[in-house]
Structure formats: structure tokens, C-alpha cells
Amino acid sequence: MTGKYQICNRCVMDTTDPEIQFDENGICNHCRQYDESVKRFVIDGKEGKEKLQHIVDGIKESGKGKEYDCIIGVSGGVDSSYVAYKVKELGLRPLAVHLDNGWNSELAVKNIELFLKKLNIDLYTHVLDWEEFKDLQLSFLKASTPDSEIPTDHAIWAVLYEMADQIKTKYVIFGCNIRTESHLPRSWSQGHMDWKYIKSIQHQFGNLPLNTFPHMDFVRYRQNLSHHKSINILNYLDYSKKEAMKILENELGWKYYGGKHYESIYTRFYQGYILPQKFGYDKRRLHFSSLICSGEITRTEAIEELKNEPYPIELQSQDKAYVIKKFGITEREFEDIMSLPKKRFEDYPSYEKSIYSSIFFKILTKCYRIVRRIS
């Protein structure tokens, strides 16, 4: 971070995002984008219920005669767990899909087993080859970008689409939602669907070929977008994370794990230790800022919470020792990785640079959107 420090007058995003922009009232571009996204994508109240029911009716009709009519992803976290609760309430027949990347906390595993059993939802778990995935994660750490969780995100999407094809449904239902996760600086993480970026990192820093890793190249990703319907049902509900947690705890025995995406030990350590220590990025700012804009917490509450450590120091130390041991490296090797010069997504080959930024692709995308609106 260079230049004068500034924090948004509405949320808690600040100049630790090097690309942040403020208007004349001191409101950041993320808040302005939040308002635009809510206006465009969130349909709640009576209209939202009617729209969601129309979607549900379409899923049921498409799924007649099949064992399952849709796919849902489950991690053990709030949003995906609440999606499982809602789809059953809506009368759908989902297959729950979980990606086991070797870092699940014991609590996350118990949450998934408990609420799926109570909801009578079948589960498919895809277990990644640990040696292969470990090598890929170490490659991303050595690449020294703030994107080290991209491999997991990419694999999750790939597995969800693959399972949708296997059960012959085009409907994949997600827990993503505008209200609680819209403050997303590109500089903090990008390239989630960019297989060329992931491959380039592994080619430069890895030791093992990615023979079994679930992935989508450029063509496969575009096909998935065309052939499947990705539905963020929480955008059609009066969704409150606090209320969702109460329902999950009271009705399903679900337990909170202490932070957004902290159901994963590696995510907890990466977001709570590596990102703040190495890059100066505190992801709580993103999560709190969306919750401020949605009215679930106040800006004052968020500022006070940010004065605390991301999570307890003692647990950070335990996680650090665990991560080092699980990776099979020494503490010296870990510290060497932490001291590597910081890099950016743009420093490595990607579809973003080779395809998405081309004039031809932009024209093609524009034409496709026009056709979609007409059809």
C-alpha cells in the first residue's frame, strides 16, 4: 500500500485494496457496486418468492423420472448449509456434493453429516489426490500471489458440473449471494475459473503432473455455462446470515466454526495468518463490509472487531504447526515462502491475458449477450 491511507465512510474497505476508488462523499467503489448488484440481482419479498417458485417448478418438471433433480454444493458453512435446508423445504430432490481437499475441520465434517442426515439428502464426496493437491497448493504459495485458494474453488465448480452431467440435470444450486459477499477486490484474488493460470503456476513451481485434479479448460468452462443453469437461490429470499445460523443451530444441530469459510483448517490459516502477515489483506474487511451494507452489523461494530486478531493467536500457532507438518516442509522453508517477493495474478500466463482481453472475444461476448436477450 502506498500513498495516503483512507477508509470508506460507509463500509470498512480501505486502501489495503490498491485499486480502491472513493467518490466525493468518501464512499468506495465496492459499495457502489454492491448497490448496483442488489438492484440488478436481488429479488426478495413477494416477487422473490414468486420468481423462486417459478424456478422450483421448472426444476421439478425437468427432474421427473430422475433420482435427483438438482445439485447442491456443501462445505459445512452457513450459506451452503442453509441452501440445503431451503431446497428440501421447497420440495426439491438434491444430490449434495462435497469436495474433500484434505483440510476439513472435524466440526465441518460433523456439520455436514448431521444436517444432511436430518434433511435426508444423499451425499457424494469427491476426495482429491492428496499428494497431487499438496504439490499444487505449495506451487501457489511459491508463486507468491494472494490467490492460493483458487485451486480448491476451481475444483469445486468442476466437480459440481461433472456430477450435474452424471445425474443428467442442468440445475446447480449455489449458496453465493449478493447481500453477504459482494465486496470482492480483484487485486486480492482472481483467476478462479482460469485453468491456464492454474496450470502455469504448477508448471513453473510444481513437481507433479495434475493427472486427476478436477478442472475446466476454456472450452469446457464455456460449455458448462451454456449447458447448466447456476442458481443462487439466496438472492430470491429475504436472506439474513444471522437468522440462517439460528435456524441451522435450532433445527439441524449445526454449529458455528468462528469465521467465514473457517470450516477449512487451511482456509482459516491462509485467511487469518498468511494473507494479513504477508500481503496486509484482512478478508474480514470484505465480509464485514457486505454485512454492513446489508444491515446485519454496524460499521462501528466492524471497526471494533477488526481491532482483534483474525482468530486466536494460540490457534494460529497450532494451525501453523499443523500446516507445515501436513505439507511436509520445515519451518525454515515456510518462512522462506513467506518472505518471497509479492506477485500478482498478472505476473503469470492466463486466459485473462491470452483470450478474455482480446478484441475478438469481447465482440463475441457482446454478440452472445444480444442473442440471449432476443431469444
What is the per-residue pLDDT across 15-58, written as a single tens digit (0 to 9) for each? 999 999 999 999 999 999 999 999 999 998 899 999 999 999 99
Question: Is the per-residue pLDDT at 364 higher than 50?
Answer: no
Q: What does the mean pLDDT of the chain come to?
A: 90
Q: What is the pLDDT of residue 179?
A: 86
What is d(CA 283, CA 189) in angstroms, rounded to the nearest whole number? Answer: 11
Domain extent, residue 95, equals 41-347
Domain annotation covers residue 322: yes
Q: How many CB atoms lie within 10 A of CB 145?
A: 22
Helix (H, G, I), strand (E, B) or coil at 95: strand
Domain annotation covers residue 57: yes
Q: What is the pLDDT of residue 362?
A: 44
Domain annotation covers residue 162: yes
Domain annotation covers residue 66: yes
pLDDT tens digit sequence for 293-338: 999 999 999 999 999 999 999 999 999 999 999 999 999 999 999 9
Q: How many domains does the chain have?
A: 1
Domain annotation covers residue 215: yes
Q: Are strands 70-73 and 94-100 parallel, antiparallel or unpaired?
A: parallel
C-alpha cell belonging to residue 275: 494473507
Contact predicate 292/174, CB 8 Å:
no
Domain annotation covers residue 95: yes
CATH number, residue 258? 3.40.50.620
Q: What is the pLDDT of residue 257?
A: 65
Domain annotation covers residue 342: yes
Note every long-range contact of 201-207, with CB atoms under 8 Å and residues 24 or more positions apart, other chains counting.
Answer: 201/136, 201/139, 201/140, 201/143, 201/348, 202/135, 202/136, 202/139, 204/139, 204/143, 204/348, 205/138, 205/139, 205/140, 205/142, 205/143, 206/135, 206/136, 206/138, 206/139, 207/135
Q: What is the pLDDT of residue 294?
A: 92
Which residue type does 325 have?
K
Closest CA to 72 of 88, 93, 90, 94: 94
C-alpha cell belonging to residue 211: 493427472
Domain annotation covers residue 144: yes
C-alpha cell belonging to residue 76: 459445512
Quickly state the pLDDT bin for 356 (edges 50, 70, 90): low
